[in-house]
Copies of this chain bind each other. A is one copy, B any other.
Amino acid sequence: MAPDRRKMIVAAATKSFSLFGYKATTMDQVAKLANVGKGTIYTFFKNKEELFEEIISSLVREMIVEADSVIQPKLPFTENVHRALYRLLEFRSQHQLMIKLVQEEAEMGTLAVSEMLQHVENEIIAYLKQKIETAISKGAIPAANTEITSFLLLKMYIALVSDWERNHAPLSSEQIAEIMKVFLLQGLPT
C-alpha cells in the first residue's frame, strides 16, 4: 500500500508513449494513468523530455540484454555479430514503443523523437564497436577502424532490412548473414 510512485510514473508513461507516441501523450494522462498528482511527476523528472530519456535508456539496456542473450561464445565471431544485429533489428521492429516512435518520426517529424532515435542508433554502434574491439584483441578478426566498421555494419543492415524492401522482395536471414559475413570476414577497412 506504499506504491513506488516513481515506478508507477515510468510504467504509465511507457505505456502511453507506446500507445499514442511522444507528442500525443500528455502529462495529465500520465499522472492519471499512474494514479498520481501531476506535480508528483515533476518531483522525479525535470520535464517531459527527461522522463522520455529515462524510458529510452531502459529500452536501450533491454536491447543490449536481448543482443547478448543470442550470442554463443562457441560460434565464430561473424556469426555472432550477425545474430546480435539481427536480434537488435528484430527487437526494433517488434517492440511497441519503437514501432510507435519510428512511425511518429516518419509522419510527424517530432524533434524530441528524432533525437532519441539517433541516440538509440549511436548506442547500438557503441555496442557493436565494443564487441569488435574485443574480437580484434583476441585475434579473431584482423585489426580495423572499429568506429567506421561498426557504423557501416549497422547502416548495411538497415539498408538490407528496411530500404531494400521498399523496392524488392525481403531478403532471407541467410542471405543477409552471407552478405555480412563477406564484409566482416575479409580485411576490414583500415
Contact = CB atoms under 8 A, between A and B. Distances in A.
A148 B179 contact: yes
A151 B163 CA distance: 10
A155 B163 contact: yes
A183 B109 CA distance: 34
Contacts of A156: 152, 155-156, 159
A189 interface: yes
B179 A186 contact: no
Given A156-B155, A168-B147, A182 B178 contact: no
A112 to B, nearest CB: 17
A188 to B, nearest CB: 7
A182 to B, nearest CB: 5
Interface string A116-140: 0000001000000000000000000
Contacts of A159: 151-152, 155-156, 159
What secondary structure prevails in chain A residues at the interface with B?
helix
Contacts of A188: 182
A187 B189 CA distance: 15
Given A151-B164, A159-B152, A187 B182 contact: yes
A10 interface: no
A167 interface: yes
The 5 closest A-B pairs by CB, nearest first: A186-B186, A179-B189, A155-B159, A182-B187, A182-B189
Interface of A: 109, 122, 147-148, 151-152, 155-156, 159-160, 163-164, 167-168, 171, 175, 178-179, 182-183, 185-190
19 contacts: A122-B167, A147-B168, A148-B160, A148-B171, A148-B175, A151-B164, A152-B159, A155-B159, A156-B156, A159-B159, A175-B189, A178-B190, A179-B189, A182-B187, A182-B188, A182-B189, A183-B183, A186-B186, A186-B187
